[in-house]
């Protein structure tokens, strides 16, 4: 069974970036988000960071930190679990 947070993050990526030809379940857990098959670039990353900060009540401190967090869905889920507001994580 897919990890619920991973599934939520995949949906967030698809909706935030309006990826018309990508279904959330098509995004692998461990492949690079930036520079990978989704063609996500640094401008997309900016949109994702803003959305993540609002959605999970977290604060990403630097561009290096955002790059590490956005390395893959799995790394993003780990980051959100560690830094996110627990109340928003549960929703």
Partner 1 sequence: MADPGNRVRIAATDCLTPFGDAAATLAALLRGERALKRVPVLGREGGDLVPLALIEGRALDESEPPEWLSPLSRLARSIPGEGWGSARRPIFVTGSNFGVGALYAYRRSLAAVTQGTASAAGLEPPKEDFLKWGDPGACVARLAREFGWGSQVTVFSHACVSAHLGLLQATRALEAGLADEALVFTFDFLSPFVAGGFHALKILNGEWPAPYENRPTGAIGLGDGAAYAVLGKGKGDLCLAAQNLHNEMYHVTGNRPDGSGFAACLEPIVAAAKGRRVWMKGHGTGTLEAGRLEAGALAQAFGEAPLVGWKGSLGHTLGSCGVVELSLAAQAIRVGRTPGTVGSRAPALAGAVAFDAFDNRSFDAVVCASNAFGGSHAAFLLAHA
Does residue number 50 form part of the binding site for partner 1 (CB under 8 A)?
Answer: yes
Residue environment code for 50-75, b if the CB has 16+ CB neighbours within 10 A, otherwise e: eebeebbebebeeeeebeebbbbbbb
Does residue number 61 form part of the binding site for partner 1 (CB under 8 A)?
Answer: yes
Compare residues 2 and 42 and give the one whose CB is closer to partner 1: 42
DSSP SS3 for 34: strand
Q: Which of residues 62-91 bind partner 1 (CB under 8 A)?
A: 62-66
Does residue number 23 form part of the binding site for partner 1 (CB under 8 A)?
Answer: no
8: part of which helix (H) or strand (E)?
Answer: helix 4-16
Q: Which of 14, 27, 60, 76 binds partner 1 (CB under 8 A)?
A: 60
* 90 neighbors 56 (Cβ within 8 angstroms): no
Q: Which of 1, 18, 30, 43 binds partner 1 (CB under 8 A)?
A: 43
Residues that bind partner 1 (CB under 8 A): 41-43, 46, 49-50, 60-66
């Amino acid at each position: 069974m897919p990890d619920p947070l991973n599934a939520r993050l995949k949906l967030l990526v698809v909706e935030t970036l309006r990826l018309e030809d990508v279904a959330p379940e098509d995004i692998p857990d461990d492949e690079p988000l930036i520079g990978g098959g989704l063609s996500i670039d640094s401008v997309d990353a900016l949109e994702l960071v803003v959305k993540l900060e609002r959605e999970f009540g977290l604060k990403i401190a630097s561009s290096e930190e955002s790059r590490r967090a956005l390395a893959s869905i799995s790394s993003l889920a780990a980051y959100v679990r560690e830094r996110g507001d627990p109340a928003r994580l549960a929703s």
